């Protein structure tokens, strides 16, 4: 189907369907979920000196892209200039995230932001949420790994009780750190198993650390039965990092992956193998949003398996429903492709096999019932 035909088909999907479909979010960073209102409250509580009012800082998050010369000849054209919605003064996602981490002072703060992440996800119809969490900051070192994870878990337990959701945590590996530090982190995860910590993920700017640096950490995680994912082919304009993540790191799924389009052989390989990509139409790099959406369209055209994610919903800002709206609208996904996106998310989740199968059956039944109700069957 052509892009124009796909867009025409997508118009028939009503917004009510997009709001009500059961969803799964596999790629969401805990710090990036923090609400502007929570950031403002904590900043004032701690007396944090900021260059502007906390609400203004959040409104002006805009990560500037790297040297545009790196992206002049990509398969999907990357914008070379600024976008019309960029603020006069920009605050990078990493800077704002660092301020948020600075404000978290107790286990109760950690539990609160996890609970609020699930509460906001629930409003988008999210049934299962997997959250990236980072290493414990120095000022909370007294909690240790076990204490911090248990504080996060308290937030998930409360959300499960209040919203009927399920949730898991992903231990984030900062790729700007050394392979030895990553291995130490994974060893801590393995030595302290927790029911809510389901796997590991490689994050931070892809250009800050090649995936092959983390082979030993990922091997240990695999031996322990942990799920494995990695941000790949997001910032580096190459498909090679994705093949490294699949072949050397043993990743179960890939976060982002847009630049796999640079290599037709890799596109064919991931299509054949059914690799699931968690894709976000919205990014703090505002000028790159059109490129993101065009790339996701091209991934769909190539028959790749994608599932929308919210990534950093509090800071972009976005919601998972918004991401499905963008998939149905500007990206032009068909009704059938949107249904597949939901099912891809369930099938790529790190729930235990029995729970995953039950969720897939429930989600499929709800999609069928909603289609029938709205005349989309």
Q: What is the pLDDT of residues 135-170, one digit of tens each?
A: 888 899 999 999 999 999 999 999 999 999 999 999
Categorize the per-residue pLDDT at 67 as very low, low, confident or very high, splitting at 50, 70 and 90.
confident
Distances (CA, A) of 107 to 36, 75, 136, 145: 20, 46, 11, 12
Categorize the per-residue pLDDT at 6 as very low, low, confident or very high, splitting at 50, 70 and 90.
very low
Tell me the CATH class for 3-373. alpha beta
Q: What mean pLDDT is predicted for residues 335-340?
A: 98
Q: Which residue intervals of 302-352 are DSSP H helices?
A: 320-328, 335-347
Mean confidence (pLDDT) of the chain: 95
Q: What mean pLDDT is predicted for residues 26-31?
A: 98
Out of 99-113, 131-145, 255-269, least confident range: 131-145
Residues 6 or more apart whose CB falls under 8 angstroms from that of 279 comprise: 256, 257, 258, 292, 296, 299, 306, 307, 308, 309
Categorize the per-residue pLDDT at 7 as very low, low, confident or very high, splitting at 50, 70 and 90.
very low
Over 50: is that where the pLDDT of 256 sits? yes
Site of tokens 């494995």:
228
Residues 346, 237: Cα–Cα separation, whole Å: 29
Q: What mean pLDDT is predicted for residues 195-222?
A: 97
Q: What is the pTM of this model?
A: 0.95
Residues 6 or more apart whose CB falls under 8 angstroms from that of 193 comprise: 224
Contacts of range 47-50, beta carbons closer than 8 Å, 24 or more positions apart = 48/99, 48/102, 48/103, 50/99
Torsion, Cα 251 207 179 95, to 10 degrees, reads: -100
Residues 299, 258: Cα–Cα separation, whole Å: 8
Classify burial at 3, counting beta carbons within 10 Å of its beta carbon; exposed 0-12, middle 13-18, buried 19 or more: middle
Phi/psi of residue 273, each to 5°?
Answer: -85, -5
User: What percent of the chain clears pLDDT 90, i.e. is strictly above it?
Assistant: 92
Residue 81: the pLDDT is 86
Residues 163, 204: Cα–Cα separation, whole Å: 30
Residues 167, 179: Cα–Cα separation, whole Å: 28
Residue 93: the pLDDT is 97
Report the candidate in 184, 195, 123, 183 with the shortest Cα–Cα distance to residue 159: 123
| Polymer length in residues for the chain | 377
Over 70: is that where the pLDDT of 334 sits? yes
Q: For residue 169, list its beta bridge partners.
A: 131, 197
Residues 377, 371: Cα–Cα separation, whole Å: 5
């Amino acid at each position: 189907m052509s892009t124009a035909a796909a867009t025409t088909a997508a118009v028939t999907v009503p917004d009510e369907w997009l709001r009500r479909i059961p969803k799964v979010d596999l790629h969401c960073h805990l710090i990036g979920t923090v609400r502007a209102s929570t950031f403002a409250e904590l900043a004032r509580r701690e007396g944090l000196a900021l260059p502007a009012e906390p609400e203004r800082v959040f409104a002006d998050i805009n990560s500037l892209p790297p040297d545009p010369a790196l992206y002049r000849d990509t398969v999907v054209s990357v914008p070379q200039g600024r976008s019309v919605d960029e603020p006069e003064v920009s605050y990078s996602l990493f800077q704002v995230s660092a301020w948020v981490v600075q404000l978290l002072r107790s286990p109760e703060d950690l539990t609160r932001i996890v609970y609020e992440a699930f509460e906001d996800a629930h409003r988008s119809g999210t049934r299962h949420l997997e959250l990236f969490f980072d290493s414990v900051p120095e000022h909370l070192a007294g909690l240790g790994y076990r204490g911090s994870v248990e504080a996060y878990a308290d937030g998930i337990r409360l959300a499960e009780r209040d919203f009927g959701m399920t949730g898991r945590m992903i231990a984030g590996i900062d790729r700007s750190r050394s392979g030895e530090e990553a291995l130490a982190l994974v060893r801590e995860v393995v030595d302290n198993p927790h029911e809510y910590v389901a796997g590991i993920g490689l994050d931070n700017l892809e250009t800050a650390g090649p995936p092959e640096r983390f082979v030993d950490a990922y091997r240990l995680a695999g031996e322990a039965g942990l799920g494995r994912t990695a941000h790949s082919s997001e910032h580096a304009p190459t498909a090679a990092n994705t093949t490294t993540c699949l072949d050397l790191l043993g990743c179960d799924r890939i976060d982002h992956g847009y630049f796999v389009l640079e290599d037709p052989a890799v596109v064919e390989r991931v299509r054949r193998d059914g690799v699931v990509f968690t894709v976000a139409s919205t990014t703090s790099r505002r000028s790159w949003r059109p490129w993101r959406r065009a790339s996701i369209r091209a991934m769909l055209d190539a028959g790749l398996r994608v599932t929308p994610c919210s990534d950093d919903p509090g800071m972009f800002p976005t919601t998972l429903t918004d991401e499905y709206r963008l998939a149905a609208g500007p990206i032009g996904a068909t009704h059938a492709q949107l249904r597949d996106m939901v099912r891809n998310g369930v099938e790529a989740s790190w729930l235990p096999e029995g729970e995953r199968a039950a969720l897939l059956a429930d989600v499929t039944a709800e999609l069928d019932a909603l289609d029938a109700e709205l005349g989309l069957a």
